[in-house]
Amino acid sequence: MTRYFTEDHEWIDVDGTTATVGITDYAQGQLGDIVFVELPEEGKRFEKGDEAAVVESVKAASDVYSPVSGAVVELNSELEDTPALVNDDAEGDGWFFKIDLTDASELEGLMDEEKYSAFIAKL
C-alpha cells in the first residue's frame, strides 16, 4: 500500500484501484477537538479536488477534498457516532471514505511522506 498527501492535508492510501482517504494528523491538530464529520454518500462520484466531506471541530469547520477522481465505495460509519476517532488516530482508524480510482495518473501530483513532512515544516 502506498500513501500520498495533498497540500490541503488529506492523506490517501492506495491499494490496487481502491484508495482510502482521511485528514492528516497535522490537520486534526490544527482543528482541535473534532465534534462532527459529514461523510459523502456511498456511490457519489468526485473529480480530483472536489469537496467530499466536512469536518467540524470546536474551533472551525473545514472541507475535505477528494485527492483523486472516482466513486465512493465505502464510508467509515464509526465517525458518525465517534468523530473523535479523527483526533485519536487521524491517519488510521479515523479514515473518512474509500474511493474507486478512475485515473491513477492523478497520484503523480501528490506528495510522499518525506515531501509532506518538508511541506508542513515550512508552515
CATH number of the domain to which 40 belongs: 2.40.50.100
The mean pLDDT value for 9-37 works out to 97
Beta bridge partners of 72: 99
CA 103 – CA 91 distance, rounded (Å): 23
Q: How many domains does the chain have?
A: 1
The pLDDT score that the predictor gives to residue 1 is 81
What is the domain extent for residue 94? 2-103+110-118
Residue 58 confidence (pLDDT) above 90:
yes
Q: What is the pTM of this model?
A: 0.96
Do residues 2 and 11 make contact, with C-beta atoms less than 8 angstroms apart? no
On whether residue 123 sits in a domain, the answer given is: no
